Structure formats: structure tokens, C-alpha cells
Amino acid sequence: MKSIFFFNHYHNGDIYHSRAFIKPVAESHESDVFYGTRCPDIILKDIPVKTAHLPQLHDKVQFHETPDMLFVNTWIGSWFDKGLPNTNECTLRFAYEMWKHIYDGINERLNTNYSVEVYKQEDYLPEFDYTQFDTSNVSKWVESNSGKKILFCNSPVHSGQCDYNGDMAYIIEEQAKKYPDTHFIVTNPINSDLTNIVTTDSITKRETCDLVEISYLAQSCDLIVGRNSGPFCFSSTKKNLMNETKTFYSFGIRETDNFAHGLEVKAKNIFKYYTGFQDLQDDIKELTNELHSS
């Protein structure tokens, strides 16, 4: 049987959102399964795929066959023109429809029987097998730092998710002063002398990509704030989104950039259109006040 070579030209979040659909193929296909990306190999460490360089194929090519390989594009943008339900959304509910189509294409070409029909959409929320990663530094920090924790995914976005691409430093410092016993964790360092503001890399102690460790750290956070990119995406695991004690707050220009939009999750999943810095500041102030009143 031919090998399968998944590929995606774009960002960490794009690869992350394909995890749950790639995994059953990687675990059961009779030949090798590859994944070609520009992203760090570590984000796929717990899935049995062979990471590889991107093939010389256009980012809109959906399927391409050679005598011994089937290439399959996992970028959602390459599937927007198929007339699928919820098209043009960066959501799981679109990805679910897209992967139905991808699985059908694989089955037709390779005589396999991959299917998403027997599962609910929520079953495809991404998750990690953290035993395959070194999360010891995060565990040590969490054990040594009790109290409420807020994760600010304040790194810049790369796909136009929001008109504001700043680091929220003023908002974060304002709330950190008000609540000195709460840990304000930032993915992008800000200029502050407050000891209760801490960067994720000082917790994970990784010099390279620590997105998986951030998602693990998010399990211990009460409120997760950010734009729908990178660290915010990786924090939006199935376990976290199905935790009714957590609140996710994202902001930007499209509600449908929120991967969990339209799903039945147990966490409070809030999206706000970005209308200005003052409104963002007011929303975060309200959320932090609610957290500390509970």
C-alpha cells in the first residue's frame, strides 16, 4: 500500500488543529505516514508520524499521487472552495467537514476505510499524551506556586486574527498590581518589575518551542486570555475546554477564528470583537474581578 504524506505550509496552530484527525491514520495505516511542515517536530512527538520537509507542492494542491506516495494537504485554506458546511471558518466544525472529505479522498485512492462519521465533533478537540514530553519544570513550578493563575497569550499573531497585535502590558500590569497574590503568566515578556508577572519560558525552561508545555501549564490556569493563535490554540485542549471551572477569553476580528466556536464545551468560551484597547481593558478587568469573587 502507498505511504501517506500529509503536508501543511502554515503555522503551529494549523498543525495542532489537525492532530486528532492525523492520529488514527498514523496509528493504523499499513505503510509509513509522514507529515511535512515548517513547524518544530516536537509538536508531533506523541503521534506516530515521520516528520519531513515540505514537498514541492503548491499550498492549494489537495491531493497528489506518485507511484508509492499519496500527498494530502491539511491546510484548511486549501479546502474552502469545496462548498463544505461552515466553509471559510477556522473552526473545528469546519475541520470536521473537511476531514470527512479528506478521508473519502484517501479511501477512494487507497481502498481504506477512514471515517469521522461515528464520532462527535467535540471528540476531535486536540489533546496531547504529555507522558511523551518533559513537563517536569512546569509541574515543579505549579507545585511551588499556589493561588490563582491567569495565562495571557500575548504573543503577536501571524494570520491577521486581530487589528491589535500588542502585548497587553498595561492591562496585565494593572491587574497584577490589584491582585498581588495571583500569578499573571505571559507568553511574551513585558517590561515590569512585579514579581507576580512571570514568563512561560521561565517556567518551562525551554530555549526552543514550548507550546506543548504551555498547553500543559494551561491545565493549572483559571483564566486564559489571547488571540486565536499559537499559545492560545495550544491551550485549547479537549481537557481544558471540557473543564467547567475554566474561562477562555479570545478577541479579534472574526468569531470563527475561535477553533471551539459553535461546539458544546463545558468551559466558558468567550469571544469578543476587538473594538478598541479600552474595551479590551474593561473586559479583562471584569473577568479578573469575577475570578477573584468566586
List, for residues 150-183, the tens digit of each pLDDT value: 999 998 777 778 778 788 999 999 999 999 999 9
Span 133-293: which CATH code? 3.40.50
According to the model, what pLDDT value does residue 235 have? 96
Separation CA 262–CA 124 (nearest Å): 14
| C-alpha cell belonging to residue 166 | 500588542
Report how far residue 227's alpha carbon sits from residue 148's, in angstroms, rounded to the nearest whole number.
21
**pLDDT for res 157:** 77
Report pTM: 0.92
DSSP the chain: --EEEEE--S-HHHHHHTHHHHHHHHHH-SS-EEEE-SS-GGGGTTS--EEEPPPS--TT--EEEETTEEEEE--GGGGGGG--TTTT--SHHHHHHHHHHHHHHHHHHH-----STTS-GGGGS----GGGS--HHHHHHHHH--S-EEEEE-SPPSS---S--S--HHHHHHHHHH-TTSEEEESS------TTEEEHHHHH--SS--HHHHHHHHTT-SEEEE-SSHHHHHH--HHHHT-TT-EEEEEES-GGGSTTTTS--SSEEEEEE---HHHHHHHHHHHHHHHHH-
Residues of the chain with pLDDT under 50: none
User: CB under 8 Å to 225, separation ≥6 — which residues?
Assistant: 150, 151, 152, 153, 154, 168, 249, 250, 284, 287
The ranges of the chain annotated as CATH 3.40.50 are 133-293
Give dist(CA 57, CA 139) in Å, integer: 41
Contact 267, 241 (CB under 8 A): yes
Q: Which residues contact 159 (CB under 8 A, 6 or more apart)?
A: 10, 11, 229
Nearest partner of 196 among 155, 145, 154, 246, judged by Cα: 145
Q: Distance between CA atoms of 121 and 9, rounded to whole angstroms?
A: 25
Nearest to 231 by CA among 11, 10, 9, 23: 11
Closest CA to 259 of 188, 130, 161: 161
User: Given this model, what pLDDT does residue 52 score?
Assistant: 94
